[in-house]
Amino acid sequence: MISREFNEIFRKYASDKEIFHDLMPLRTREILLVAPAFDAFTLEQDGLLTEILFDGYYQLNMSNPPRVINVSTVEEALEKCSTRHFDMIIVMSRLGQGGHLELSRALKKAAPRIPIYLLLNDNVEVGAMDRRRQELHRHYDQIFVWNGNPEIFMAMVKFMEDRANVENDTAVGLTRVILLVEDSIRYYSRYLPILYAEILKQTTRLAKDQAIDGMTRTLSMRVRPKVILATTYEEAMAFCDKYQDYMLCLITDRKFPKDGVLDREAGIKLIKALKDRNPHLPTLLQSSDPFKESWATAINSGFLNKNSYTLGAELSNFFYESLGFGDFIFRDANGAEITRATDMEDLQAKLRTVPVESLVYHASRNHFSAWIMARGEVQVARVLAKFRITDYRDPEEMRTFLINVGDYVQRMRTLGKVIPLTESTPKDEPNILRLAPGSMGGKGRGVAFMHSLLSRLDLDNLLPDASIRIPRSAIIGTEEFNSFITRNGLRQMLQNDVDDDAIKRRFLMGSLSPELVAKLRLFLTKHAKVPLAVRSSGLLEDSLSHPFAGLYNTFFLPNNDPDPAVREAQLTEAIKLVYASVYSKASRSYFTAIDYKIEEEQMAILIQEVSGSRFGDRFYPHISGVAQSFNYYPVAYTQPQDGIANIAVGLGKYVVEGGKTYRFAPPYPEMDMLPPKEQLRTTQKQFYALDMSQTSVDLYGGEDATLLTLDISEAEKDGALQHCASVWDNNDDRIRDGLDSPGARIVNFRNILKYDQFPLAKILQRLLELIREAMETPVEIEFAVNLDKDPNSGKPTFTLLQIKHQLLDNGEVNLVASDLVPEDLFLFSEKCVGNGMVEGLRDIVWVDPDGFDKFETPALAVQLEHLNDHFRTEGGKYVLLGPGRWGSNDRHLGIPITWSMISCAQVIVEYAMEHFQADASLGSHFFHNVTSLNIGYFTVPYPRGSSRLDWDWLRQQPVVSRSGCLVHSRVDAPLHIVMDGRRSASAIFKQAPKPAPEPETFD
Task: Report pLDDT digits (tens) over 39-51.
Answer: 777 666 654 566 6
Could you report the per-residue pLDDT of 944-997, keeping only the tens digit for each? 888 899 999 999 999 999 999 999 999 999 999 998 876 778 999 998 776 545
DSSP secondary structure of 861-900: HHHHHHHHHHHHHHT--EEEEEEB-TT-S-TTTB----GG
Per-residue confidence (pLDDT) for residue 929, from 0 to 100: 60
CB of 613 closer than 8 Å to CB of 621 = yes
Cα of first residue to Cα of last residue in the chain, in angstroms, is: 102
CB of 514 closer than 8 Å to CB of 525 = no
User: What confidence category does residue 201 fall into, taking pLDDT thresholds of 50, 70 and 90?
Assistant: low
User: What confidence category does residue 1003 fall into, taking pLDDT thresholds of 50, 70 and 90?
Assistant: very low
The Cα 119–Cα 109 span in angstroms is: 20
Name the phi and psi angles at 106, rounded to 5.
-65, -40
Per-residue confidence (pLDDT) for residue 920, from 0 to 100: 62
Helices then strands, each counted (H, E), the chain: 34, 45
Within the chain, what is the greatest distance between any pair of CA atoms? 104
At residue 273, what is the residue type? A
The Cα 986–Cα 940 span in angstroms is: 10
The Cα 504–Cα 898 span in angstroms is: 19
Number of other CB atoms surrounding residue 110 within 10 Å: 15
Report for 233-242, 465-474, 806-815: range of highest mean pLDDT: 233-242
Q: What is the mean pLDDT of residues 410-424?
A: 71
The Cα 646–Cα 433 span in angstroms is: 30
Could you report the per-residue pLDDT of 140-155, keeping only the tens digit for each? 889 999 887 778 888 8
- Please report, rounded to a whole number, the percentage of residues in the chain having pLDDT higher than 90: 37
The set of residues, in sequence order, having a beta carbon less than 8 Å from that of 153 and lying 6+ positions away, is: 43, 47, 49, 52, 53, 90
Per-residue confidence (pLDDT) for residue 383, from 0 to 100: 63
Is residue 724 pLDDT above 60, yes or no? yes
Buried b (16+ CB within 10 A) or exposed e, 30-60: bbbbbbbbbbbbbbbbbbbbbebbbebbebb
Is residue 96 pLDDT above 70, yes or no? no
The Cα 606–Cα 621 span in angstroms is: 19
User: What confidence category does residue 916 fall into, taking pLDDT thresholds of 50, 70 and 90?
Assistant: confident
Could you report the per-residue pLDDT of 431-468, keeping only the tens digit for each? 789 999 888 888 888 898 888 888 777 777 778 889 99
Distance of CA 27 to the CA centre of its chain: 31
Residue 22, CA distances (Å) to 31, 87, 219, 596, 883 in order: 21, 17, 11, 44, 72
Per-residue confidence (pLDDT) for residue 709, from 0 to 100: 95
Per-residue confidence (pLDDT) for residue 542, from 0 to 100: 57
Instruction: Decide the pairing of beta strands 302-305 and 283-287.
Output: parallel
pTM exceeds 0.85 for this model? no
Question: Looking at per-residue confidence, does 679 or 23 come out higher?
Answer: 679
The Cα 919–Cα 928 span in angstroms is: 15
Per-residue confidence (pLDDT) for residue 987, from 0 to 100: 94
User: What confidence category does residue 640 fall into, taking pLDDT thresholds of 50, 70 and 90?
Assistant: confident
Per-residue confidence (pLDDT) for residue 427, from 0 to 100: 66
Question: Which of 299-303, 361-365, 736-740, 827-831 bottoms out in mean pLDDT, i.e. has the lowest?
Answer: 361-365
Is residue 999 pLDDT above 70, yes or no? no
At residue 289, what is the residue type? D
Per-residue confidence (pLDDT) for residue 13, from 0 to 100: 31
Per-residue confidence (pLDDT) for residue 462, from 0 to 100: 78
Per-residue confidence (pLDDT) for residue 335, from 0 to 100: 79
User: What confidence category does residue 598 fall into, taking pLDDT thresholds of 50, 70 and 90?
Assistant: confident
Could you report the per-residue pLDDT of 482-506, keeping only the tens digit for each? 999 999 988 877 766 788 899 999 9
Helix (H, G, I), strand (E, B) or coil at 635: coil
Helix (H, G, I), strand (E, B) or coil at 385: helix
Per-residue confidence (pLDDT) for residue 460, from 0 to 100: 76
DSSP secondary structure of 837-848: EEE---EEEEE-
Per-residue confidence (pLDDT) for residue 215, from 0 to 100: 45
At residue 147, what is the residue type? N
Per-residue confidence (pLDDT) for residue 213, from 0 to 100: 41
Residue of 880, 952, 865 whose CA lies nearest to 910: 880
DSSP bridge pairs for 341: 328
805 CB-contact burial (10 Å; exposed 0-12 / middle 13-18 / buried 19+): buried
Per-residue confidence (pLDDT) for residue 322, from 0 to 100: 64
The Cα 572–Cα 700 span in angstroms is: 12
Number of other CB atoms surrounding residue 421 within 10 Å: 19
Q: What is the DSSP letter of 45?
A: I
Helix (H, G, I), strand (E, B) or coil at 810: coil
- How many Cα atoms within 13 Å fall on the side-chain side of residue 315? 28
At residue 162, what is the residue type? D
CB of 860 closer than 8 Å to CB of 965 = yes
Question: Which of 11-25, 252-266, 305-319, 814-828 bottoms out in mean pLDDT, i.e. has the lowest?
Answer: 11-25
Per-residue confidence (pLDDT) for residue 11, from 0 to 100: 37
Instruction: Give every strand in the sheet of 432-436, ordered side by side.
Output: 418-420, 432-436, 473-476, 603-609, 532-538, 554-557
**Average pLDDT score over the chain:** 82
Cis peptide before 943 (omega within 30 of 0): yes
Residue of 608, 228, 310 whose CA lies nearest to 482: 310
Is residue 875 pLDDT above 50, yes or no? yes
Name the phi and psi angles at 715, rounded to 5.
-65, -35
